[in-house]
Amino acid sequence: MVKSSKSRSNSAFYILLGVVAVAGIGALIFLSSRPREARSASPIDPTLPPVQSEGYVIGSATAPVEVTEFADFECPACERFASITEPDVRGRLVNTGTIRMRFIDYPLPMHHNTWNASRAAACANAQGKFWEMHDLIYANQDRWNGEATSNPDKVLKEIARQVPGLDQAKLDACVDSKEMQAKIQAHYNIAQQRQIGVTPTFYIGNTKFEGALSYDEFKKQVDIAAAAAPKSAPATGAESPAKGATPAAGKTKK
């Protein structure tokens, strides 16, 4: 703002401002219309061993496509996916038998309380309540994350009280004992082995996607994977964990 030149160059200034505005709007339109999968999608290394019984599974054992999600409970993008996209994924794809989902913990070092959340979820899983706890952990991320509390176990136990039918005393004892640490470490190792760099990362068919996908993008990739899946096989992809991934999958195959 140079006042002495103001009156002389007002027109030029407004033209310049207009050019910047038009260029900015144009750049935003261009950047927002770029194909989302162009940078984040990559083929899965077929030499990696399949993910087998690890993680937590929801959905039909005979669903033609399995989606594996590597996620961190304290990661904001994972929370966004869980809160915004996942309800649609459950309602329209999981509950209709189109896919089943597998969740694998990848607690990132930068998140102070994420291991506590993973252990609490694993403790709920021991009572068959993983997905209920998963949803509540994400919905209450702002209450137990590293910025909110230095005693996350206390908050996570409180959150667990909202899970219907959960034996609270058992969960509390499980959380306090840290008995699920090895399980979470195993999940972490799986993600490390696959060089997962971003959370959430999804395996859909033979392709890896980094970042929180919108429902439309997710559905599109599921459709592609389903079209490529052999009709007789219960799941797709070289990494497909469906073959014997869960006891149910083994029993119901063919």
Partner 1 sequence: MAIAVLALVGAFIGLYLTLYKLGVIGTLACSTIGNCETVQLSRWSTLLGVPVATWGVGYWVSVLAIAMAGLQERWAESPGLSLALCLLTGWGLLFSAWLTYLELYVIHAICIWCVTSAVLATLVFVLAFLDWRETGPARAG
Closest CA to 120 of 85, 64, 168, 78: 168
Which one of 43, 96, 142, 195 is in contact with partner 1 (CB under 8 A)? 142
Task: Kindly provide the b/e burial profile for residues 202-213, where b requires at least 16 CB atoms within 10 angstroms of the residue's own CB.
Answer: bbbbbbbbbbbb
Residue type (1 letter), 235: A
Tell whether residue 91 is a contact of partner 1 (CB under 8 A).
no
Tell whether residue 87 is a contact of partner 1 (CB under 8 A).
no
Tell whether residue 83 is a contact of partner 1 (CB under 8 A).
no
Tell whether residue 3 is a contact of partner 1 (CB under 8 A).
yes
Q: How far is the CB of 1 from partner 1 (least distance, A)?
A: 5
Which one of 100, 102, 111, 129 is in contact with partner 1 (CB under 8 A)? 111
Burial of 245 (0-12, 13-18, 19+ CB in 10 A): buried
Q: Considering only the stretches 6-14, 95-103, 149-157, 225-233, report the one whose residues sit in contact with partner 1 under the rule CB under 8 A.
A: 6-14
| Window 190 to 249, contacts with partner 1 (CB under 8 A) | 198-199, 210-212, 214, 217
Q: How far is the CB of 229 from partner 1 (least distance, A)?
A: 25
Tell whether residue 15 is a contact of partner 1 (CB under 8 A).
no
Contacts to partner 1 by CB under 8 A: 1-3, 5-6, 9-10, 13, 16-17, 20-21, 24-25, 27-28, 31-32, 34-40, 74-77, 80, 84, 110-111, 142, 145-147, 198-199, 210-212, 214, 217
